[in-house]
Structure 1
Amino acid sequence: MKYILVLLACCLPLLVRAATPLQPLQIAEQFLARSGWPDMRHYLSGEAAGQARRQSLGQQIPAAVQRRCELLQQGAATAVVSVELRDSVSRSDIYLHFRRDSAAATPWTLAAVRSLAMTQLGPPMLKILADMPPGEVTQYNQKHPDAPHAFMLGNIRLWIGPDADIIEHFRRHQPEFEQAARLIQNRRFFASPLDSTLSGEQAANADAELLALLRPLYISRVTQRTLGSVAGLEFIIGGVTDNTVGLLYQPNAAQVPRMSPERIIMVKPLGKGWYLYKTT
Protein backbone atom coordinates (compact mmCIF):
# COMPACT_ATOMS: atom_id res chain seq x y z
CA MET A 1 0.00 0.00 0.00
CA LYS A 2 2.87 2.32 0.88
CA TYR A 3 4.39 1.83 -2.57
CA ILE A 4 1.09 2.56 -4.27
CA LEU A 5 0.82 5.85 -2.38
CA VAL A 6 4.35 6.76 -3.33
CA LEU A 7 3.60 5.97 -6.98
CA LEU A 8 0.46 8.10 -6.90
CA ALA A 9 2.37 10.97 -5.32
CA CYS A 10 4.92 10.84 -8.14
CA CYS A 11 2.40 10.54 -10.95
CA LEU A 12 -0.26 12.95 -9.75
CA PRO A 13 1.60 16.11 -10.86
CA LEU A 14 2.05 14.58 -14.32
CA LEU A 15 -1.64 13.71 -14.52
CA VAL A 16 -2.63 17.22 -13.46
CA ARG A 17 -0.36 18.80 -16.07
CA ALA A 18 -1.75 16.46 -18.74
CA ALA A 19 -5.31 17.45 -17.84
CA THR A 20 -4.54 21.19 -17.84
CA PRO A 21 -5.31 22.78 -21.23
CA LEU A 22 -2.33 24.44 -22.86
CA GLN A 23 -1.97 28.21 -23.09
CA PRO A 24 -1.21 29.96 -26.42
CA LEU A 25 2.55 30.19 -25.87
CA GLN A 26 2.68 26.50 -24.92
CA ILE A 27 0.66 25.55 -28.00
CA ALA A 28 3.02 27.59 -30.18
CA GLU A 29 6.08 25.88 -28.74
CA GLN A 30 4.54 22.44 -29.30
CA PHE A 31 3.43 23.36 -32.83
CA LEU A 32 6.96 24.56 -33.68
CA ALA A 33 8.78 21.68 -32.00
CA ARG A 34 10.98 19.52 -34.24
CA SER A 35 9.29 16.29 -33.11
CA GLY A 36 5.72 15.31 -33.83
CA TRP A 37 2.82 16.38 -31.65
CA PRO A 38 0.20 13.62 -31.18
CA ASP A 39 -2.34 15.99 -29.56
CA MET A 40 -2.00 18.65 -32.27
CA ARG A 41 -5.47 18.24 -33.76
CA HIS A 42 -7.09 19.10 -30.41
CA TYR A 43 -5.42 22.52 -30.41
CA LEU A 44 -6.14 23.62 -33.99
CA SER A 45 -9.23 25.32 -35.37
CA GLY A 46 -10.38 27.19 -38.48
CA GLU A 47 -7.94 27.41 -41.36
CA ALA A 48 -5.04 26.15 -39.25
CA ALA A 49 -6.85 22.84 -38.74
CA GLY A 50 -7.21 22.42 -42.49
CA GLN A 51 -3.59 23.31 -43.26
CA ALA A 52 -1.86 21.10 -40.70
CA ARG A 53 -3.61 17.77 -40.99
CA ARG A 54 -0.60 15.42 -40.92
CA GLN A 55 2.44 17.38 -39.78
CA SER A 56 2.97 20.24 -37.40
CA LEU A 57 4.72 23.33 -38.68
CA GLY A 58 7.75 22.37 -36.66
CA GLN A 59 8.05 19.08 -38.56
CA GLN A 60 7.84 20.88 -41.91
CA ILE A 61 10.62 23.35 -41.07
CA PRO A 62 14.20 22.06 -41.57
CA ALA A 63 15.61 20.70 -38.31
CA ALA A 64 18.58 23.08 -38.38
CA VAL A 65 16.33 26.13 -38.16
CA GLN A 66 16.12 27.63 -34.68
CA ARG A 67 12.69 28.76 -33.50
CA ARG A 68 11.89 31.27 -30.78
CA CYS A 69 8.34 32.00 -29.62
CA GLU A 70 7.26 35.25 -27.95
CA LEU A 71 3.79 36.03 -26.58
CA LEU A 72 2.73 39.42 -27.97
CA GLN A 73 -0.80 39.60 -26.58
CA GLN A 74 -3.25 37.42 -24.68
CA GLY A 75 -6.73 38.64 -23.86
CA ALA A 76 -10.03 37.06 -22.95
CA ALA A 77 -10.79 35.79 -26.45
CA THR A 78 -7.68 36.18 -28.64
CA ALA A 79 -3.92 35.85 -28.41
CA VAL A 80 -0.95 36.32 -30.73
CA VAL A 81 2.46 34.66 -30.59
CA SER A 82 5.39 35.89 -32.68
CA VAL A 83 7.82 33.25 -33.94
CA GLU A 84 11.34 33.96 -35.16
CA LEU A 85 12.86 31.34 -37.48
CA ARG A 86 16.62 31.55 -37.82
CA ASP A 87 19.52 29.60 -39.33
CA SER A 88 23.11 30.47 -40.23
CA VAL A 89 22.15 32.60 -43.24
CA SER A 90 18.66 33.99 -42.74
CA ARG A 91 15.92 35.04 -40.33
CA SER A 92 12.17 35.32 -40.82
CA ASP A 93 9.06 35.83 -38.72
CA ILE A 94 5.59 34.33 -38.57
CA TYR A 95 2.65 35.19 -36.34
CA LEU A 96 0.29 32.66 -34.76
CA HIS A 97 -3.24 33.85 -34.02
CA PHE A 98 -5.26 32.04 -31.35
CA ARG A 99 -8.87 32.14 -30.28
CA ARG A 100 -10.54 31.00 -27.09
CA ASP A 101 -13.75 29.03 -26.61
CA SER A 102 -14.37 28.71 -22.88
CA ALA A 103 -16.88 25.89 -23.43
CA ALA A 104 -14.42 23.65 -25.29
CA ALA A 105 -12.27 20.96 -23.70
CA THR A 106 -9.20 22.79 -25.03
CA PRO A 107 -10.25 26.46 -24.74
CA TRP A 108 -7.26 27.93 -26.64
CA THR A 109 -6.73 26.84 -30.23
CA LEU A 110 -4.46 28.01 -33.04
CA ALA A 111 -6.71 29.49 -35.71
CA ALA A 112 -4.36 31.10 -38.28
CA VAL A 113 -0.71 31.49 -39.24
CA ARG A 114 0.37 34.77 -40.86
CA SER A 115 3.46 36.45 -42.28
CA LEU A 116 4.08 39.57 -44.35
CA ALA A 117 2.84 38.72 -47.86
CA MET A 118 3.90 39.77 -51.36
CA THR A 119 7.58 40.26 -50.62
CA GLN A 120 8.71 38.15 -53.59
CA LEU A 121 9.78 41.17 -55.65
CA GLY A 122 12.06 42.43 -52.90
CA PRO A 123 15.11 40.13 -53.34
CA PRO A 124 15.45 40.57 -57.13
CA MET A 125 15.00 44.34 -56.78
CA LEU A 126 17.64 44.37 -54.07
CA LYS A 127 20.08 42.39 -56.22
CA ILE A 128 19.64 44.71 -59.20
CA LEU A 129 20.33 47.76 -57.02
CA ALA A 130 23.26 46.15 -55.18
CA ASP A 131 24.93 45.08 -58.45
CA MET A 132 24.74 48.51 -60.10
CA PRO A 133 28.13 49.94 -61.08
CA PRO A 134 28.88 53.51 -59.93
CA GLY A 135 28.01 55.04 -63.27
CA GLU A 136 24.56 53.49 -63.28
CA VAL A 137 24.04 54.56 -59.67
CA THR A 138 24.69 58.16 -60.70
CA GLN A 139 22.19 57.88 -63.55
CA TYR A 140 19.65 56.23 -61.26
CA ASN A 141 19.95 59.05 -58.73
CA GLN A 142 19.47 61.64 -61.45
CA LYS A 143 16.28 59.92 -62.62
CA HIS A 144 14.93 59.25 -59.09
CA PRO A 145 15.84 62.25 -56.92
CA ASP A 146 12.99 61.53 -54.48
CA ALA A 147 14.08 57.91 -53.93
CA PRO A 148 17.81 57.65 -54.65
CA HIS A 149 19.86 54.49 -54.78
CA ALA A 150 21.02 54.49 -51.13
CA PHE A 151 17.47 55.08 -49.88
CA MET A 152 16.03 52.25 -51.97
CA LEU A 153 18.70 49.80 -50.80
CA GLY A 154 18.05 50.54 -47.15
CA ASN A 155 14.29 50.66 -47.57
CA ILE A 156 13.98 47.31 -49.36
CA ARG A 157 16.29 45.63 -46.86
CA LEU A 158 14.02 46.73 -44.05
CA TRP A 159 10.82 45.89 -45.93
CA ILE A 160 11.79 42.26 -46.57
CA GLY A 161 14.01 41.89 -43.52
CA PRO A 162 13.26 40.20 -40.18
CA ASP A 163 11.66 42.01 -37.27
CA ALA A 164 14.98 42.00 -35.44
CA ASP A 165 16.63 44.12 -38.16
CA ILE A 166 13.82 46.68 -38.13
CA ILE A 167 13.91 46.89 -34.34
CA GLU A 168 17.68 47.32 -34.36
CA HIS A 169 17.33 50.08 -36.99
CA PHE A 170 14.72 51.83 -34.84
CA ARG A 171 16.80 51.56 -31.66
CA ARG A 172 19.83 52.98 -33.44
CA HIS A 173 17.87 55.93 -34.79
CA GLN A 174 15.22 56.44 -32.11
CA PRO A 175 16.19 60.10 -31.47
CA GLU A 176 15.65 60.90 -35.16
CA PHE A 177 12.29 59.10 -35.18
CA GLU A 178 11.20 61.04 -32.13
CA GLN A 179 12.37 64.28 -33.72
CA ALA A 180 10.28 63.50 -36.82
CA ALA A 181 7.23 62.74 -34.65
CA ARG A 182 7.60 66.05 -32.81
CA LEU A 183 7.91 67.95 -36.08
CA ILE A 184 4.72 66.35 -37.42
CA GLN A 185 2.84 67.17 -34.23
CA ASN A 186 4.13 70.75 -34.05
CA ARG A 187 3.10 71.46 -37.63
CA ARG A 188 -0.29 69.81 -37.08
CA PHE A 189 -0.34 67.97 -40.39
CA PHE A 190 -2.87 65.49 -38.99
CA ALA A 191 -4.98 67.81 -36.87
CA SER A 192 -8.15 67.00 -38.86
CA PRO A 193 -10.37 63.95 -38.24
CA LEU A 194 -9.16 60.66 -39.63
CA ASP A 195 -11.56 60.70 -42.56
CA SER A 196 -10.20 63.96 -43.93
CA THR A 197 -6.44 63.74 -43.44
CA LEU A 198 -5.44 63.22 -47.08
CA SER A 199 -4.48 66.86 -47.56
CA GLY A 200 -2.50 66.82 -44.31
CA GLU A 201 -0.78 63.61 -45.37
CA GLN A 202 0.19 65.15 -48.71
CA ALA A 203 1.54 68.25 -46.96
CA ALA A 204 3.56 66.15 -44.50
CA ASN A 205 5.13 64.02 -47.22
CA ALA A 206 6.05 67.13 -49.22
CA ASP A 207 7.63 68.98 -46.29
CA ALA A 208 11.33 69.41 -47.03
CA GLU A 209 12.44 69.44 -43.40
CA LEU A 210 10.47 66.31 -42.57
CA LEU A 211 11.73 64.51 -45.68
CA ALA A 212 15.29 65.33 -44.68
CA LEU A 213 14.62 63.42 -41.45
CA LEU A 214 12.69 60.51 -43.00
CA ARG A 215 14.90 59.62 -45.96
CA PRO A 216 17.96 58.56 -43.87
CA LEU A 217 15.53 56.48 -41.77
CA TYR A 218 14.33 54.65 -44.95
CA ILE A 219 10.72 55.69 -44.33
CA SER A 220 8.72 55.91 -47.56
CA ARG A 221 5.88 58.06 -46.17
CA VAL A 222 3.96 59.05 -43.07
CA THR A 223 0.23 58.63 -42.74
CA GLN A 224 -2.60 58.17 -40.27
CA ARG A 225 -4.91 56.15 -42.46
CA THR A 226 -3.45 52.63 -42.74
CA LEU A 227 -4.27 51.57 -39.19
CA GLY A 228 -6.84 54.25 -38.34
CA SER A 229 -5.32 54.77 -34.91
CA VAL A 230 -6.65 58.05 -33.49
CA ALA A 231 -3.78 60.52 -32.99
CA GLY A 232 -1.29 57.83 -34.04
CA LEU A 233 1.49 58.46 -36.56
CA GLU A 234 2.35 55.70 -39.00
CA PHE A 235 5.86 55.62 -40.46
CA ILE A 236 5.52 53.35 -43.48
CA ILE A 237 8.59 51.38 -44.51
CA GLY A 238 7.11 49.52 -47.47
CA GLY A 239 4.85 46.86 -48.84
CA VAL A 240 2.55 45.96 -51.73
CA THR A 241 -1.13 46.97 -51.66
CA ASP A 242 -2.40 46.24 -48.14
CA ASN A 243 0.61 44.15 -47.08
CA THR A 244 2.65 46.78 -45.27
CA VAL A 245 5.27 47.05 -42.57
CA GLY A 246 5.98 50.17 -40.56
CA LEU A 247 6.41 51.85 -37.21
CA LEU A 248 3.54 53.32 -35.22
CA TYR A 249 3.87 56.13 -32.73
CA GLN A 250 0.88 56.03 -30.41
CA PRO A 251 1.51 57.36 -26.88
CA ASN A 252 -1.98 56.29 -25.76
CA ALA A 253 -1.78 52.50 -25.37
CA ALA A 254 -5.59 52.25 -25.32
CA GLN A 255 -5.66 53.54 -28.91
CA VAL A 256 -3.26 50.95 -30.31
CA PRO A 257 -5.25 48.89 -32.84
CA ARG A 258 -5.96 45.26 -32.10
CA MET A 259 -4.32 42.45 -33.99
CA SER A 260 -6.32 40.05 -36.17
CA PRO A 261 -5.45 37.52 -38.89
CA GLU A 262 -7.63 39.46 -41.34
CA ARG A 263 -5.98 42.88 -41.08
CA ILE A 264 -3.26 43.80 -38.58
CA ILE A 265 -1.28 40.60 -38.21
CA MET A 266 1.33 41.90 -35.76
CA VAL A 267 1.87 44.83 -33.36
CA LYS A 268 5.07 44.59 -31.34
CA PRO A 269 5.72 47.17 -28.57
CA LEU A 270 9.10 48.91 -28.66
CA GLY A 271 8.62 51.20 -25.67
CA LYS A 272 7.79 54.89 -25.13
CA GLY A 273 4.73 54.71 -27.39
CA TRP A 274 6.46 53.11 -30.39
CA TYR A 275 5.37 49.88 -32.10
CA LEU A 276 6.43 47.74 -35.03
CA TYR A 277 3.44 46.57 -37.06
CA LYS A 278 2.51 44.55 -40.14
CA THR A 279 -0.74 44.33 -42.06
CA THR A 280 -2.26 41.99 -44.61
Structure 2
Amino acid sequence: MRILSILLLLPLAAFADELRLVEQFFGQEGINNKREVYAGEMLEHYLDKPTLGESLPKGIDVSLRLLEKNLQREIYAVLLSKDGRSQDWYIYLVNDQNKWKISAVRNLALPGIFFMALQEIQSKSNRTKEEEYQYQNMLLTLQLDSELKEFLHKNIDSLNVIAVQAKTSQEKATESAKHLNLNFVGYESSSGIVDINIGGILDNSVGYLFVPTGAEVPKMSDDNYIYIESVTGNWYVYKTT
Protein backbone atom coordinates (compact mmCIF):
# COMPACT_ATOMS: atom_id res chain seq x y z
CA MET A 1 0.00 0.00 0.00
CA ARG A 2 1.22 3.48 -0.78
CA ILE A 3 2.16 5.92 1.93
CA LEU A 4 -0.78 7.37 3.84
CA SER A 5 -1.43 10.98 2.83
CA ILE A 6 -2.12 13.18 5.82
CA LEU A 7 -4.23 16.20 4.96
CA LEU A 8 -4.10 18.00 8.27
CA LEU A 9 -3.01 21.45 9.36
CA LEU A 10 -2.33 20.44 12.98
CA PRO A 11 0.99 19.11 14.27
CA LEU A 12 1.39 15.44 13.40
CA ALA A 13 2.92 14.63 16.77
CA ALA A 14 -0.41 15.44 18.43
CA PHE A 15 -2.06 12.64 16.45
CA ALA A 16 0.73 10.09 16.19
CA ASP A 17 -1.05 7.23 18.00
CA GLU A 18 -4.41 7.85 16.36
CA LEU A 19 -3.01 8.18 12.85
CA ARG A 20 -0.92 5.06 13.25
CA LEU A 21 -4.01 3.16 14.36
CA VAL A 22 -6.07 4.42 11.41
CA GLU A 23 -3.22 3.61 9.03
CA GLN A 24 -3.04 0.08 10.38
CA PHE A 25 -6.79 -0.43 9.97
CA PHE A 26 -6.66 0.59 6.32
CA GLY A 27 -3.29 -1.06 5.70
CA GLN A 28 -2.95 -4.51 4.16
CA GLU A 29 -1.09 -5.94 7.14
CA GLY A 30 -4.04 -5.23 9.40
CA ILE A 31 -4.07 -5.05 13.21
CA ASN A 32 -2.75 -7.84 15.39
CA ASN A 33 -3.80 -6.55 18.80
CA LYS A 34 -7.48 -5.87 18.03
CA ARG A 35 -8.60 -6.59 21.58
CA GLU A 36 -6.38 -3.77 22.82
CA VAL A 37 -7.38 -1.16 20.23
CA TYR A 38 -11.04 -1.97 19.52
CA ALA A 39 -13.99 -0.62 21.50
CA GLY A 40 -17.78 -0.72 21.29
CA GLU A 41 -19.22 -2.59 18.31
CA MET A 42 -15.74 -3.23 16.89
CA LEU A 43 -14.77 -5.10 20.04
CA GLU A 44 -18.10 -6.91 20.19
CA HIS A 45 -18.48 -7.96 16.56
CA TYR A 46 -15.18 -7.65 14.66
CA LEU A 47 -12.44 -9.21 16.76
CA ASP A 48 -12.32 -12.26 14.48
CA LYS A 49 -12.87 -10.30 11.25
CA PRO A 50 -10.16 -8.90 8.96
CA THR A 51 -9.69 -5.16 8.92
CA LEU A 52 -10.92 -3.23 5.91
CA GLY A 53 -7.38 -2.79 4.65
CA GLU A 54 -6.74 -6.53 4.62
CA SER A 55 -9.62 -6.99 2.17
CA LEU A 56 -8.57 -4.19 -0.19
CA PRO A 57 -6.66 -4.83 -3.43
CA LYS A 58 -3.03 -3.78 -3.64
CA GLY A 59 -2.10 -0.27 -4.69
CA ILE A 60 -4.92 1.56 -2.95
CA ASP A 61 -4.19 5.22 -2.18
CA VAL A 62 -5.41 6.19 1.28
CA SER A 63 -5.83 9.80 2.38
CA LEU A 64 -7.53 11.14 5.46
CA ARG A 65 -8.66 14.36 7.02
CA LEU A 66 -9.75 15.16 10.55
CA LEU A 67 -13.45 15.93 10.96
CA GLU A 68 -13.66 16.23 14.74
CA LYS A 69 -11.29 16.08 17.70
CA ASN A 70 -11.88 16.48 21.41
CA LEU A 71 -10.67 14.77 24.57
CA GLN A 72 -13.19 11.94 24.20
CA ARG A 73 -13.21 11.14 20.49
CA GLU A 74 -11.78 11.74 17.05
CA ILE A 75 -13.47 11.25 13.68
CA TYR A 76 -11.63 10.97 10.38
CA ALA A 77 -12.85 10.92 6.79
CA VAL A 78 -10.86 8.41 4.75
CA LEU A 79 -10.70 8.43 0.95
CA LEU A 80 -9.73 5.19 -0.79
CA SER A 81 -8.68 5.55 -4.43
CA LYS A 82 -7.38 3.35 -7.23
CA ASP A 83 -7.46 3.54 -11.03
CA GLY A 84 -9.70 6.59 -11.09
CA ARG A 85 -12.29 5.15 -8.70
CA SER A 86 -12.73 6.37 -5.12
CA GLN A 87 -14.84 5.74 -2.05
CA ASP A 88 -15.37 7.71 1.17
CA TRP A 89 -15.24 6.06 4.60
CA TYR A 90 -15.50 7.43 8.14
CA ILE A 91 -13.71 6.02 11.17
CA TYR A 92 -14.51 6.82 14.80
CA LEU A 93 -12.00 6.66 17.64
CA VAL A 94 -12.72 6.95 21.36
CA ASN A 95 -10.38 7.71 24.24
CA ASP A 96 -10.63 4.75 26.60
CA GLN A 97 -8.57 5.40 29.74
CA ASN A 98 -6.04 7.50 27.81
CA LYS A 99 -5.74 4.95 25.00
CA TRP A 100 -7.25 5.64 21.59
CA LYS A 101 -9.41 2.83 20.20
CA ILE A 102 -11.50 2.27 17.07
CA SER A 103 -15.19 2.14 17.95
CA ALA A 104 -16.88 2.13 14.51
CA VAL A 105 -16.30 2.44 10.77
CA ARG A 106 -18.96 3.68 8.35
CA ASN A 107 -19.70 4.61 4.76
CA LEU A 108 -22.90 5.44 2.90
CA ALA A 109 -24.58 2.02 2.95
CA LEU A 110 -26.97 1.93 0.01
CA PRO A 111 -28.76 -1.40 -0.57
CA GLY A 112 -28.46 -3.48 -3.70
CA ILE A 113 -31.91 -2.40 -4.86
CA PHE A 114 -30.54 1.14 -5.30
CA PHE A 115 -27.85 -0.02 -7.70
CA MET A 116 -30.24 -2.36 -9.51
CA ALA A 117 -32.58 0.57 -10.12
CA LEU A 118 -29.66 2.73 -11.25
CA GLN A 119 -28.48 0.08 -13.69
CA GLU A 120 -31.98 -0.33 -15.10
CA ILE A 121 -32.58 3.37 -15.67
CA GLN A 122 -29.03 3.82 -16.99
CA SER A 123 -29.67 1.20 -19.67
CA LYS A 124 -32.61 3.13 -21.13
CA SER A 125 -31.73 5.04 -24.29
CA ASN A 126 -34.86 7.22 -24.15
CA ARG A 127 -35.62 8.28 -20.62
CA THR A 128 -38.72 10.22 -19.68
CA LYS A 129 -38.34 13.55 -17.89
CA GLU A 130 -39.06 11.88 -14.54
CA GLU A 131 -36.64 9.03 -15.29
CA GLU A 132 -33.90 11.50 -16.23
CA TYR A 133 -34.49 13.35 -12.96
CA GLN A 134 -34.26 10.08 -11.02
CA TYR A 135 -31.10 9.11 -12.89
CA GLN A 136 -29.34 12.42 -12.24
CA ASN A 137 -30.49 12.35 -8.61
CA MET A 138 -29.01 8.90 -8.08
CA LEU A 139 -25.72 9.91 -9.68
CA LEU A 140 -25.54 12.95 -7.41
CA THR A 141 -26.28 10.78 -4.37
CA LEU A 142 -23.21 8.67 -5.18
CA GLN A 143 -20.83 11.62 -5.51
CA LEU A 144 -17.71 11.81 -3.35
CA ASP A 145 -17.49 14.27 -0.46
CA SER A 146 -15.25 16.51 -2.55
CA GLU A 147 -17.74 16.48 -5.44
CA LEU A 148 -20.67 17.23 -3.15
CA LYS A 149 -18.80 20.23 -1.78
CA GLU A 150 -17.99 21.37 -5.30
CA PHE A 151 -21.67 21.06 -6.28
CA LEU A 152 -22.65 23.25 -3.33
CA HIS A 153 -20.13 25.93 -4.26
CA LYS A 154 -21.30 25.84 -7.88
CA ASN A 155 -24.98 26.19 -6.93
CA ILE A 156 -24.66 28.33 -3.80
CA ASP A 157 -26.90 31.13 -5.08
CA SER A 158 -29.74 28.73 -5.91
CA LEU A 159 -29.33 26.90 -2.62
CA ASN A 160 -29.47 30.18 -0.68
CA VAL A 161 -32.78 30.97 -2.40
CA ILE A 162 -34.09 27.50 -1.51
CA ALA A 163 -33.08 28.00 2.13
CA VAL A 164 -35.09 31.23 2.26
CA GLN A 165 -38.09 29.61 0.55
CA ALA A 166 -38.08 26.75 3.07
CA LYS A 167 -38.95 29.12 5.90
CA THR A 168 -42.35 29.86 4.37
CA SER A 169 -43.05 26.89 2.07
CA GLN A 170 -41.22 23.59 2.12
CA GLU A 171 -43.30 22.55 -0.89
CA LYS A 172 -42.10 25.50 -2.96
CA ALA A 173 -38.53 24.97 -1.77
CA THR A 174 -38.70 21.30 -2.76
CA GLU A 175 -40.00 22.26 -6.20
CA SER A 176 -36.99 24.56 -6.64
CA ALA A 177 -34.63 21.88 -5.34
CA LYS A 178 -35.85 19.37 -7.91
CA HIS A 179 -34.59 21.68 -10.66
CA LEU A 180 -31.12 20.89 -9.30
CA ASN A 181 -31.91 17.15 -9.22
CA LEU A 182 -32.24 17.24 -5.42
CA ASN A 183 -34.83 15.24 -3.49
CA PHE A 184 -36.75 17.32 -0.93
CA VAL A 185 -36.38 20.20 1.52
CA GLY A 186 -37.17 20.17 5.23
CA TYR A 187 -37.29 23.02 7.72
CA GLU A 188 -36.99 22.89 11.52
CA SER A 189 -38.74 25.96 12.87
CA SER A 190 -37.28 25.65 16.38
CA SER A 191 -33.66 25.88 15.16
CA GLY A 192 -34.10 27.41 11.72
CA ILE A 193 -32.07 24.58 10.17
CA VAL A 194 -32.88 23.82 6.54
CA ASP A 195 -32.27 20.25 5.35
CA ILE A 196 -31.86 19.92 1.59
CA ASN A 197 -31.90 16.19 1.00
CA ILE A 198 -30.03 15.07 -2.10
CA GLY A 199 -31.13 11.44 -2.08
CA GLY A 200 -30.64 7.92 -0.80
CA ILE A 201 -32.90 5.21 0.57
CA LEU A 202 -34.68 5.45 3.92
CA ASP A 203 -32.18 6.51 6.61
CA ASN A 204 -29.16 6.16 4.33
CA SER A 205 -29.14 9.62 2.82
CA VAL A 206 -26.98 12.49 1.61
CA GLY A 207 -27.72 16.19 1.74
CA TYR A 208 -26.91 19.73 2.74
CA LEU A 209 -27.73 21.60 5.93
CA PHE A 210 -28.13 25.35 6.26
CA VAL A 211 -27.47 26.09 9.93
CA PRO A 212 -28.30 29.67 10.96
CA THR A 213 -25.75 31.56 13.03
CA GLY A 214 -26.32 30.68 16.68
CA ALA A 215 -28.00 27.34 15.95
CA GLU A 216 -26.23 24.13 16.95
CA VAL A 217 -24.86 21.92 14.20
CA PRO A 218 -26.10 18.31 14.61
CA LYS A 219 -23.57 16.00 16.20
CA MET A 220 -21.83 13.32 14.21
CA SER A 221 -22.36 9.75 15.41
CA ASP A 222 -22.02 6.25 14.03
CA ASP A 223 -25.80 5.70 14.17
CA ASN A 224 -27.23 8.90 12.66
CA TYR A 225 -25.19 11.68 11.03
CA ILE A 226 -22.14 9.62 10.12
CA TYR A 227 -20.56 12.59 8.34
CA ILE A 228 -20.98 16.36 8.67
CA GLU A 229 -18.50 18.85 7.27
CA SER A 230 -18.53 22.63 6.94
CA VAL A 231 -18.37 23.76 3.33
CA THR A 232 -18.92 27.51 3.18
CA GLY A 233 -20.65 30.07 5.37
CA ASN A 234 -23.60 28.44 7.13
CA TRP A 235 -23.63 25.43 4.78
CA TYR A 236 -22.69 21.85 5.67
CA VAL A 237 -22.73 18.57 3.77
CA TYR A 238 -23.94 15.44 5.54
CA LYS A 239 -24.53 11.70 5.25
CA THR A 240 -26.72 9.57 7.50
CA THR A 241 -27.23 5.92 8.28
Q: 1:1-280 alignment to 2 at 5 Å?
A: 22-49=16-43, 50-53=45-48, 55-101=50-96, 103-104=97-98, 106=99, 108-134=100-126, 137=127, 140-141=128-129, 148-184=130-166, 188-189=167-168, 203-205=169-171, 207=172, 210-211=173-174, 213-224=176-187, 230-252=191-213, 255-280=216-241
Work out whether residues 192 and 215 of structure 2, in 8 Å CA contact, stay in contact via their aligned partners in 1.
no
Partner SS state of residue 64, structure 1: coil
TM-score between the two structures when normalised by the length of structure 2: 0.82
Partner SS state of residue 121, structure 1: helix
Structure 2: segments with no counterpart, 5+ residues? 1-13
Larger radius of gyration: 1
User: Partner amino acid for 1:42?
Assistant: E
Which digits, 9 at most, give the CA deviation of each residue in 1:1-53, with x for residues without a partner? xxxxxxxxxxxxxxxxxxx9954344212321233444554322122233154
Residues 167/119 of structure 1: CA separation in 2 closer, same or farther (3 Å cut): farther
Partner SS state of residue 255, structure 1: coil
Residues 252/66 of structure 1: CA separation in 2 closer, same or farther (3 Å cut): same
TM-score between the two structures when normalised by the length of structure 1: 0.72
Structure with the bigger percentage of strand: 2
Work out whether residues 227 and 239 of structure 2, in 8 Å CA contact, stay in contact via their aligned partners in 1.
yes
Residues 54/240 of structure 1: CA separation in 2 closer, same or farther (3 Å cut): closer
Structure 1: segments with no counterpart, 5+ residues? 1-19, 142-147, 190-202
Partner SS state of residue 221, structure 2: coil
Residues 218/21 of structure 1: CA separation in 2 closer, same or farther (3 Å cut): closer
| % same residue | 24
Displacement of 1:237 after TM fit? 1.0
